[in-house]
Structure 1
Amino acid sequence: MFGKVDLVPTIEEYVALLQCSKFQEDKVYSRAINVPTFLKKLMSITGMSEQWVAARIKQKGDSKCIPWKSLKDLILTHPDVRKRLNVFALSIYGLVVFPKALRHIDEAVTDLFDLLDKKVTPILAILAETFRSLCACRKAGKGRFIRCAQLLLTWFHSHFWKVYRVSYWVFYKNYSPLKEIVATPRRDNISDEKWMAILQNLQE
């Protein structure tokens, strides 16, 4: 909230941020009733044997996970370049977009990831996770926002004036907000309290 204005990301903005415009908007991700087991999905994504995958699956709370270290080793050593990219992308979804267990990739993420090749849009699922985490922090009056935090930061960053002072630069086809924010120097010398003061005093 800024003043009385509720600034929340929209579906269109997240589509632009993630450049998912080619995905079919009418094919929204939803968890199917009969889905392959976590073991089978990991075997398909990684191209590894049942024994290799089974030995690395861990139980974290109420869900199954695979450690990031195991996937990191695959990214560095897997002979199939396509599988390396798939494992790397899965890791980004599990560690950055939908983090649950620290340094582990949750089973639910593999279900979504398994459907992305079918051009199912992940935008609504990502947006829902963003709202859920924001609402949890708001209700508790405290806590750290962790779900999709980097994407929310990129969305926030995209609302500041851009090159040529065009506020809707984010919707240009050749512009990538994610690439820009990665290239932007980090201001680690500003405290959390200072950032809060900066944000609370923003003008229109």
Structure 2
Amino acid sequence: KGDSLKEGYVSELWDFTYISVTQNSLQDVKEIWGQWDDEIKQLFYCHYGDLPYLLDINMDEHLFRALAQYWNTVHSCFTFEKVDLVPTMEEYTTLLCCTRIQVNKPYSRATNILTFLKKLTSITRMSEQWVAAWIEQKETSRDIH
């Protein structure tokens, strides 16, 4: 039901399909982190923010399995029927029970600022000068703590 195969047709695809899934061991990642000295850890923090704090989180597997079925990979949000939901950093930190993550830190960075600038300009329909000034203001205010 719901596919395009004729009734009674038996697919031979299973005979040719091989799926391999690998997952990094969290324990291995924790051991690698533990071997690094403070200088390397600080460099990592500079590039990736508070990401290492996620190593200390006890994840609720059932919660994430439940949420995963609603994750929309195309739009990077959760979709519940016709409602799209994008949790805030505060909501993510609450779900993860991780109070050490600082909300005002970037967890991803635009690798190509010009491409990012053009996308932001087209989305906001503002001038490139306005968007560039806004980004500059955000960068400046982020550095003041």
Same fold (TM over 0.5): no
Q: Rg larger in 1 or in 2? A: 2
| TM-score calculated relative to the size of structure 1 | 0.21
User: Bigger relative contact order, structure 1 or 2, given CA contacts below 8 A and separation 6+?
Assistant: 1
Q: Which has the higher helix share?
A: 1
